[in-house]
Structure 1
Amino acid sequence: MSNASFWKGVLPAITTPFSEDGNVDHAFLARHARILVEAGCTGIVPLGSLGEAATLAFDEKVAIVKTLVEAVGDQVPVVPGIASLSTDEAVRLARAVKSVGARGLMVLPVYVYSTDWHEVAAHARAVIGATDLPVLLYNNPVAYKTDILPAQMAELAAEFPNLQAVKESSGDVRRFAAIKEVLGERLVLLVGMDDAIVEGLCMGAEGWIAGLVNAYPVESVKLFEQARDGGYAAARALYDWFLPLLRLDTVPKFVQLIKLVQSKVDLGNERVRAPRLPVFGAEREAALKVIDHAIANRPKL
């Protein structure tokens, strides 16, 4: 599949469901993925930050990808996040998920160790070059303390034809224009922060690696389509309803909060892996106020 179509649309950063014994709930994972695809999502992105990848063992990651590939078949690509503490493990993971049917990779900077471009680029080259799969480069300087600049993206794009897209999560909407200025149409742009989706699409993004889609797939696809086709004016009513929820995607406890939303709409449970714990007390009450208001005023689409 070419970069003209692979990365467009709503690609859920799917959460990792856990059963009461703490293991991955593969049965629900498969069902959840099918629900997302039926709502119009164009891919599934497991093993991201929202998927709690840092707490998953290597074999668990491969098993999750295998389950998702079997669940969605040829309908949409499964594009796992590739992140680890070491370059060697990231390379092994890239090859392992390809062997079980992944059709693309989302390549992250290495966990924990934030460094200079010389080392970041060496890691990226090793992982991007580990397979021939289409690659989405993930830039999230807020979370990973590594900011991949447009000129640096261009350096990798010139070297690797399979680098097809960038997930931009700097939080600065001006970065979309800066990437286009340097790279033209060479890379497909995707929005990586839920509460910047309409703005990102207005600036030339064509895809959305989405979080709240885990709980509201139909609304997420509709919002994307409205903003893509008609801009802010067309999407405003739905965006106004959705924004308080979408902002839950951009805070430190976004995993717990999105899983709480899922539990409230009966599309999952709240279970997370330590060191994460479900939100409680005043923080929980504040989140539930937002969630309950959204449920009570859910638009009829």
Structure 2
Amino acid sequence: MKVTWQGVYPAVTTQFHADQSIDFEGTALHIEKLIAAGVHGLIMLGTVGENCSLEYAEKFQVLKCALEAAKGRVPVLSGVAETTTNLACRYSADCQKAGIHGLMVLPGMVYKSDPRETIVHFRTVAKASDLPIMVYNNPVAYGVDITPEMFLSMADEPKFVAIKESSENVRRITDLKNVCGDRYTLLCGVDDLALESVMLGAVGWVSGLVNAFPAENRLLWDLAMANNYAEAVKVYRWYTPLLHLDTHMKLVQYIKLAMAEVGMGSEMVRAPRLPIVGAEREAILKIIRTAIANRPKIG
């Protein structure tokens, strides 16, 4: 299955009103800003999109909003983060009906499957639709590790076209290349390992902080793609304190707070998440405001 998912793919936030209802207008406006800044695709309803906090029907309302906002300019993918394999299959099939261009599939939520169960889950979900799949490996957050050897055993399924590698172990990029060759398109899924991952062979970046800093994010990507590492490192060192926010349990709240500070959207999240307060809020705001005051010049 020939699919080219390369470049910067935001894990797009879902915008909410003060009562925690979905702000579709705000979500569409945010998508427009991201596309205007030059992102290469959109991933809706990942962790940052608060997939697991939305009702089933709400997810498709968000996807409809995203497709209408994107107007075919970039691919629109959806996260698949369900608690059972059967529900993940149903969701994947419904995504195809909705016109989504591809899926980012997670392991079954809550239960920590062993390698055999994990592979069966992904293979079963792949059979549920004709859509290409980005396999999301994030053992830090979800407790299930998909090793390079497991990816090799899954290589006969043509719908598995890409890997979002989020193990926080940058060695994995090299290990995947050594074990699987060029079978998969590799995308970095950890913001503060983006430059290292590109240098080792990743051709895409699923980013969280791009929601707040799309122009700077694209600048870093373009410098890396041009092999201008001297300038890329300068931008990366400015950006890294912000990128560290992507690796925290409260990454959604932190990213949305950054969005609010730069006028890219609202910080409202849906319970059980709550906006951060007190000393924690002041500490995160200090990081964000320091970065804003020292933004690199673009153009």
* TM-score, length-scaled by structure 1: 0.97
Contact 1:198 1:231 in 2 (8 A): no
Aligned to 1:147: 145
- Determine whether 1:61 maps to 2:41: no
- Determine whether 1:84 maps to 2:82: yes
Unmatched 5+ residue regions in structure 2?
none
User: What CA distance in whole angstroms lies between the structure 2 residues aligned with 1:275 and 1:30?
Assistant: 24
Say if 1:231 and 1:120 are closer, same or farther in 2 by CA, change over 3 A.
farther
For 2:284, which of 284, 287, 299 is the aligned residue?
A: 287
**1:231 deviation in Å?**
5.3
- Determine whether 1:45 maps to 2:43: yes
Aligned to 2:195: 198
1:56-94 Cα shifts (integer Å, max 9, x gaps):
111111111111011112111111000111111111111
Aligned to 1:110: 108
User: What CA distance in whole angstroms lies between the structure 2 residues aligned with 1:249 and 1:68?
Assistant: 23
**1:21 deviation in Å?**
2.4
Unmatched 5+ residue regions in structure 1?
none
- Aligned letter for 1:31? L
User: What CA distance in whole angstroms lies between the structure 2 residues aligned with 1:228 and 1:146?
Assistant: 31
User: What CA distance in whole angstroms lies between the structure 2 residues aligned with 1:119 and 1:161?
Assistant: 20
User: What CA distance in whole angstroms lies between the structure 2 residues aligned with 1:150 and 1:234?
Assistant: 32
User: What CA distance in whole angstroms lies between the structure 2 residues aligned with 1:140 and 1:18?
Assistant: 26
User: What CA distance in whole angstroms lies between the structure 2 residues aligned with 1:58 and 1:16?
Assistant: 14
User: What CA distance in whole angstroms lies between the structure 2 residues aligned with 1:48 and 1:114?
Assistant: 18
Contact 1:226 1:235 in 2 (8 A): yes
Aligned length: 298
Aligned to 1:99: 97
- Determine whether 1:267 maps to 2:268: no
Aligned to 1:2: 2
1:95-116 Cα shifts (integer Å, max 9, x gaps):
1111111101001001110021
- Taking every aligned residue pair, what percent have the same amino acid on both sides? 47
Aligned to 1:181: 178
Aligned residues: CA RMSD: 1.1
SS at match of 1:298: coil
**1:228 deviation in Å?**
2.2
Aligned to 2:21: 23
* TM-score, length-scaled by structure 2: 0.97
SS at match of 2:295: coil
Aligned to 1:224: 221
